[in-house]
Amino acid sequence: MDIKKLEQQCFEMKLKALDMALSTSFGAHIGGGFSAMELMACLYEVANIPSMADESRDRVILSKGHGVLALYTALWKKGLMAEEDLATFETDGTLFHGHAHRNLEKGIEFSGGSLGLGISYAVGVAKACKDKGLNNRIYVILGDGEMDEGIVWEALMAISNFGLNNVTVIVDRNQYQLDGPTAEIMNLLSVEDKLKAFGYEVETVDGHSIPALLDTLGKSSDNPRAIVANTIKANGISFLMNNKVSHQCVLPRKKYEIAVEEIKQAYNG
């Protein structure tokens, strides 16, 4: 896989996401979108999706529904969403909202928004694929704030209990949620220890390192896999990083210009 090509793709995804955030008066989930940009770019490089009509395709399920800026822009780079689709983001009559609506034609596997339902949905999808003898993978992206939900842990138990080793759970651990730091709101302590106790093979990676993500996403196991990706909320945007305001915020023109310049400097020096 071409690391430089993926880095360029991620750069373009971030600029496009900023354009989308600027275009809406409703505000956009910049924090959770930018913590997952590298993850989504790598995931759609690794996932085997020959077509959305192919039942044996890999599934990418965004359980942390507020990560749509990363999802939409990754689907755009994969050719499943068009510039014209992204231009309608959060406008009247759009199909592309701040939480995704299932749309297989555009590559969207799951309607996000109700936290914990994505991974619960993935249990059924993974079990059905197993029962049909399909040799595919189900990738589920969780937010660490989302893991406050009890339904998440029921689903994690079910994946292990039913031996669904076709599942890879990816935790976007940016350590912030809507109301502030996750450690202050509901401290998860060691996510790794909990997942290991549930029977997962667990790996911790730098969620902004494309080489590290590609390496770990490419592995397989006889057990369900869990990847804990250490990330930064609103990564790369100085005035929003590690700031709960970035969970959903309006991006004024002047702030947009600062953010664009910072992203360009990060990639071009």
Please say if the pLDDT value at position 240 is more than 60: yes
User: Span 122-141, mean pLDDT?
Assistant: 98
- pLDDT-based confidence at 113, cuts 50/70/90? confident
d(CA 246, CA 58): 31
Question: 140, 63 in Cβ contact below 8 A?
Answer: yes
- Tell me the per-residue pLDDT of 161-206, one tens digit each, with 9 for 90 and over: 999 999 999 999 999 999 999 999 999 999 999 999 999 999 999 9
Please provide the average confidence, as pLDDT, over all residues in the chain: 96
Predicted local distance difference test score (pLDDT) of residue 269? 57
Cα-flanking dihedrals φ and ψ of residue 67, to 5°? -95, 25
Question: 115, 64 in Cβ contact below 8 A?
Answer: yes
Read off the pTM.
0.96
User: Span 11-17, mean pLDDT?
Assistant: 98
- pLDDT-based confidence at 268, cuts 50/70/90? confident
Please say if the pLDDT value at position 79 is more than 80: yes
Starting at the earlier edge strand, list the strands of the sheet with 167-173.
59-62, 138-143, 167-173, 225-230, 201-206
